[in-house]
Structure 1
């Protein structure tokens, strides 16, 4: 079963859930604001994606609202801590696939991966 993480009110997450429902693909959705995510979980996602830069949305409202001191000179560890503290920084939806891989967003490439 796919595991999807995001925000209930996120339109991209809603589109992804609608697509999965239409394709009759089983998934479990977790709202990252309501269901706390752990540091280990976020670190695992970051590693699976090839680094925090692919996981964190640096163009979003949450990122722009953070003090410069929190967003400058980020290391992997600092980025993971920041994402746990501010889960809406994580690109949405984040999907854990059956094979253990992780994707973010809901592009045609991700749709192809899901089937």
Structure 2
């Protein structure tokens, strides 16, 4: 089963949900605004995706409002504080593999392992 973390209004999250649905892959959706990842889940996703910084959407409104482009910060702590900073969708087929944002090439690789 594939886990998708995102928000209901996010077009990229909707695209990921449709991508896996069209291929008959079972998906578990988690709305970040309702239930963000736990610290352990965040650590697993960051390790699988290549680091905490990859999970942050620096071009999004939440990052611009905080001025993240112009400051030093601890990516893990800031993601735990504000789930609006995640690059969505966060897609993972389990431990060891994850993709942040609209990465259709990574999704295709996940279909092969699902």
- Cα distance in 2, alignment partners of residues 66 and 99 from structure 1: 31
1:95 aligned onto 2:105: no
Query: What 5-or-longer segments of structure 1 have no aligned partner?
Result: none
1:29 aligned onto 2:40: no
Moved beyond 2 Å, runs of 4+: none
- Cα distance in 2, alignment partners of residues 33 and 86 from structure 1: 9
Match of 1:41 in 2: 41
1:110 aligned onto 2:106: yes
* CA RMSD after TM alignment: 2.0
Match of 1:72 in 2: 71
TM-score normalised according to structure 1 size: 0.83
- Cα distance in 1, alignment partners of residues 63 and 3 from structure 2: 25
Deviation at 1:67, TM superposition (A): 5.1
Q: 1:35 to 1:60 in 2, by over 3 A?
A: same
TM-score normalised according to structure 2 size: 0.84
